[in-house]
Amino acid sequence: MSIYDFKVKAMDGSEVSLGEYKGKVLLIVNTATGCGFTPQYEDLQELYDEHQKDGLEILDFPCNQFANQAPGTDEEIHTFCTGRFGMTFPQFSKIDVNGENADPLYKWIVENTVFEGFDKNPMGLMLSAVLKKFNKNYKEGNDIKWNFTKILIDREGNITARFEPTTNMKKVKAKIEELL
């Protein structure tokens, strides 16, 4: 199974084959509009503006599974993102990333990545404390732990990195630039 075998749902309900992105470097992100990490949309848009011409595509998958931080319809979420952050990269229909209703793409991502923990910065420590309240064993398993987890795919369709939401965006950018 390759990333290019998956089809995802566009905001209008149509299916989009990820095969359309063959040969591109992909950054796949599960997002939310009411999250402490929502300002990362600004960093993502800057990356896209700088590197789309080099073959970068950012694929945005809104997700409401973490503290209901992505309420609203696909259209409302898209309007918020384009209006507030000037977002121009592809945004897809809202999905689940964990559990029995997880999108098949994310089931594949979870099966093929490893959760290595959060960075030891203030946001990482805060997120660890929040998750520990809900599940003292949250560090176990490779499921997606929170919104703005980023998955980096090389031009051949291989997963090359998983960045947790607490990872400094400079580190994400550096890894993307290596692949470009």
Which tokens in the block code for residue 145? 């732990």
For the question of residue 81 being annotated catalytic, the response is no
Which tokens in the block code for residue 105? 């793409």
Cα 131 to Cα 97: distance, rounded to the nearest angstrom: 16
| Residue whose tokens read 């470097």 | 25
Beta strands in 46-168, from DSSP E residues, in sequence order = 56-62, 150-153, 159-163
- Calculate Rg over the CA atoms of the chain: 15
- Catalytic-labelled residue, pool 18, 25, 35, 59: 35
Phi-psi region of 84 (alpha: psi -120 to 50; beta: other; left: phi over 0): alpha
Q: Which residues are catalytic?
A: 35
